[in-house]
Chains A and B, each alone.
Chain A
Amino acid sequence: MLQQVIALLIIVFFIFRLIIQRRTQQINKKEFGLWLTFWLIALLAIISIKQIDQLVARLGFSGNGINFLIYLAVLALLYLVFRLRLTLAKLDRQVTDLTREVTLRLKK
Chain B
Amino acid sequence: MPKIFCVIPAWNEAAHISLVVTEVKPFVSEIIVVDDCSQDQTAELAKTAGAIVLRHPINRGQGAALQTGNDYALEHGAEIIVHFDADNQFLASEIKEIITPLIADQADIVFGSRFLGKKANFPFVKKYFIMPLARMFVRLFLGIKLSDPQNGFRALNRKAAEIIRISNREMAHASEIQARAFKAKLRVAEVPVTVIYHDFGQKLTGGFKVISDLLINKIIK
Residues of A that sit less than 8 Å from B by CB: 85-86, 89-90, 92-93, 95-96, 99-100, 102-104, 106-107
Contact = CB atoms under 8 A, between A and B. Distances in A.
A99 B71 contact: no
A86 B71 contact: no
Interface residues of B, number: 21
Contact of A86 (B34, B56, B61, B219): B219
Given A85-B216, A86-B219, 9 more contacts: A89-B217, A96-B60, A99-B64, A100-B56, A100-B64, A100-B68, A103-B54, A104-B75, A107-B72
Given A85-B216, A86-B219, A93-B220, A99 B72 contact: no
A96 B68 CA distance: 10
Interface string B159-172: 00000000101000
A103 B167 contact: no
A42 B169 CA distance: 41
A102 B71 CA distance: 13
B184 interface: no
A1 B135 CA distance: 58
Contact of A103 (B57, B169, B220): B57
B67 interface: yes
